[in-house]
Amino acid sequence: MCGIIGISAINSVNQDLYDGLLLLQHRGQDAAGISTCSDNGRVHTRKAPGLVRDVFLKSHLERLQGKMGIGHVRYPTAGTLSSFEAQPFYVNSPYGIVMVHNGNLTNSEQLKKQLFQTDFRHINTNSDSEILLNVFAHELHKQSSEPDVLPKQIFKTVTEVHKRCKGAYSVIGMIAKIGIFGFRDPLGIRPFVIGVRKSVMGDEYILASESVTFAGLGYKILRDVAPGETVFIDKNNQLHSQLCTDKPSLTPCLFEYVYFSRPDSIIDDISVYKARLRMGKYLAQKIKKEYKNLKPDVVIPIPDTSRTSALELANILNIPYREGFIKNRYIGRT
């Protein structure tokens, strides 16, 4: 589980990326990173282990210049905890690409061998995100013939990525002086949403793991990125999208609703808070039906995400709700 964000705007995006990562901090506390691209095509990156507030000082943000950029907070599920494995990852060919990824590849070892033996690409970390970036870069290179990149080339590239990469992945990438792209695996396992902010100078777009980032930054939800869909925001802030798989099927990770996501997020048109309320309701119905002689004394949640369900359970069963476990707020995820 990780948190990802990408913004293409009219003005500098460094502060919005920082604020957005703060709102996604619950998705990963081990490392954070931001990459931006300035008008001259220079990619600026700051990434390190630690919380967002500790990784980025004012001096770091001042150097992250540009009107488009991507960010990441890491909760390690593959690889090791080190600054080398913090995201975004970068490759200089073709064009200069940086990428952030939320998910897990199930065929990463096979892909790593293919990249070395067939594509002649070297993987320098144990992160499957670096593998995914190199697969994308190789496939884009096969589509490239000119200095610019057309939307159809991005879509064809991602179509080939879907054929090679198996598992769960929501991805945001940035191509220097070209634009920002995002794509979601054909099963839509990890959440991915797109938002828009209207201004007199034109539309600005945001891609993120959760909609909770939008309101604080002045964006409105446009829609979820569909399973197998690719979106591309070009250097003129024009939005392009296309389905890049033959058989998309929404099969989201249930744990997003149970644990990962913030309760004020909306994922695939489902309120996380209301989903947790319904979990408490269904549990209460099950207890009434299958344990008719059971007389619970109290309902105690395991902090923090079970509180919503526990309160609904206690309310329906008409029994006391009490806090029996106190979480240390400074230890991160448990």
Query: What are the b/e assignments for 72-94, b being 16+ CB within 10 Å?
Result: bbbbbebbeeeeebbbbbbbeeb
Active-site residue flag, 2: yes
Q: Give residues with Cβ within 8 angstroms of 242, minimum separation 6.
A: 151, 155, 229, 230
Among 207, 202, 200, smallest CA distance to 223 is for 207
Q: Which of the following is catalytic: 2, 165, 244, 253?
A: 2
At 141, which amino acid appears? H
Length of the chain: 334
Note if the bond before 252 is cis, omega within 30 degrees: no
At 180, which amino acid appears? I
CA distance 36 to 42: 8
Question: Which sequence positions are flagged as catalytic?
Answer: 2
